Structure 1
Amino acid sequence: MTFILPPQAAFNPAGRSPRGETHVPGDTGNVFHMVVEVPRWTNAKMEIATKDPLNPIKQDVKKGKLRYIANVFPHKGYIWNYGAIPQTWEDPGHKDQHTGCCGDNDPIDICEIGSKICSRGEVIKVKVLGILAMIDEGETDWKVIAINVDDPDAASYNNIDDVRKLKPGYLEATVEWFRKYKVPDGKPENSFAFNSEFKDKDFAVDIIKSTHDHWKALVEKKTDGGGINCMNLTVENSPFKCSVESAKAVVDNLPPTCESACVIPTDVDKWFYYQNN
């Protein structure tokens, strides 16, 4: 039994998304919608389930057990509000010109660095500041850096250099977190393109737009998505568009959430100390 939240803005998206756009309506800059999958300081590996109807947010399962991310010293859980940009897709059939690797078959990931701890499933508007090109087991896995537009300090953040100046050490900690977070599970360190350097806002927006183009081809059935479920309520040119009644039936048939009732294993609080060999 997995931990499931009903569809909100998810992958296609459906549910309570503000019309579900990747880009915020009327904005031509670097402000996008974000679906929060994992609130900061938490460990449950929640993600948009792209193979389920309407793509709910579910907890990943590994070897029959709910998956939790290890605490690798000095960090506790995720160090940002972590989630995805709806209506994007890192196409596993497309070799990225910058990394030389194909996409990871998921929406593009985003790390929100503001002061508020967001709620799981929340849809927020974020200002994109930059991007990191992670290579995860041979796949391109972009990590967008952004800040909630409603953050009290949002006006001070306009590009990746502002993060470096105003939150010293945060970008370096982000690289180290992504480099090591799978090591306690017996996996090798992740690597990065561009010598682990972050690219700027304009570069990030171009990557987001390209992944949106790949998503559009997917939901219009111009690209084979394999097992991805493209059922949606909002995309006019999509053969997968469904009725409100059909979507409601899917949501009504979901098992109840267990956020307040589920017992978190005690070993989730274990701290791992790791040094490079």
Structure 2
Amino acid sequence: MDVMEVGSVPLEMGSITPCRVLGSMELIDEGETDHKIICISLSDPDASQIRSMEDLERVKPGTAARLVNWLKRYKTSDGKGENMLAQETPTTAREALDIIAETHQRWRMLCGKDNGTTGYGGTLPGTEGFYLDSPSCKGE
């Protein structure tokens, strides 16, 4: 999962920035879904007017089409073919938030932090006894 911030003020790559989720696009990368979450920084001058993908198109016409174009072609500079999208219409903010929640729960399970409330039974297949080696992902 990647996050694409569509505001008018450049952000430092990798920065932690409070954002509003607007929707998502689903790139098919080597046969697997790669979610691209679309958001706007809460500090962006247009953030008060943009709460959905529809608002984004109203305030910044053509943004969704430019995102589709970029997602399809951004790997071609490496000599690869065009990417495929599951659909060319972005998901809603609610659908994107559900994707984020599901992905976060899978991360918690991989880190050994699952509280047993998921339908996965507490571990992902093939991850028994495995914890990701990251400061925030050591078993609690």
Question: TM-score scaled by structure 1?
Answer: 0.43
* 2:93 pairs with one of 201, 204, 209: 201
Alignment of 1:1-277 (within 5 A): 108-194=1-87, 196-220=88-112, 222-223=123-124, 224=127, 229-233=132-136, 238-239=138-139
Residue 185 of structure 1: how far off its partner (Å) = 2.0
Q: Runs of 5+ in structure 2 lacking a partner?
A: 114-122
Residues 21 and 37 of structure 2 are in contact (CA less than 8 Å); yes or no, is this contact kept in structure 1? yes
Residue type at the aligned position of 2:106 = H
> What letter is aligned with 2:101?
K
Moved over 3 A (4+): none
Please list the CA deviations of residues 166-212 of structure 1 after superposition, one character each: whole Å capped at 9, or x if unmatched: 11111101111110111232212111113x11111111100110000
The structural deviation recorded for 1:228 is 7.8
| SS at structure 1 position matched to 2:81 | coil
Q: Distance in 2 between matches of 1:215 and 1:191?
A: 25
Larger Rg computed on CA atoms: 1
The answer on whether the counterparts of 2:5 and 2:39 sit within 8 Å (CA) in structure 1 is: yes
Count of residue pairs the alignment pairs up: 128
- Aligned 8 A contact 2:26 2:86 in 1: yes
- Once superposed, what is the RMSD of the aligned Cα atoms? 2.1
Please state how far the C-alpha of 1:230 moved relative to its aligned partner.
Answer: 2.8
Greater helix content: 2
**In structure 1, how many angstroms separate the alpha carbons of the residues matched to 2:77 and 2:131?**
29
Secondary structure of the equivalent of 1:128?
A: strand
Question: Per the alignment, do residues 153 and 184 of structure 1 end up closer, same or farther by CA in structure 2, a change over 3 Å counting?
Answer: closer
Alpha-carbon separation, structure 2, partners of 1:212 and 1:201 = 16
Q: Give me the whole-angstrom Cα distance separating, in 1, the residues matched to 2:104 and 2:47.
A: 25
Gap runs ≥5 in structure 1: 1-107, 242-277
Aligned residues with identical type, % of pairs: 35
Q: TM-score, normalised by structure 2?
A: 0.82
Letter matched to residue 199 of structure 1: T
Conserved? CA contact 2:8–2:44, under 8 Å: yes
Deviation at 1:121, TM superposition (A): 3.6
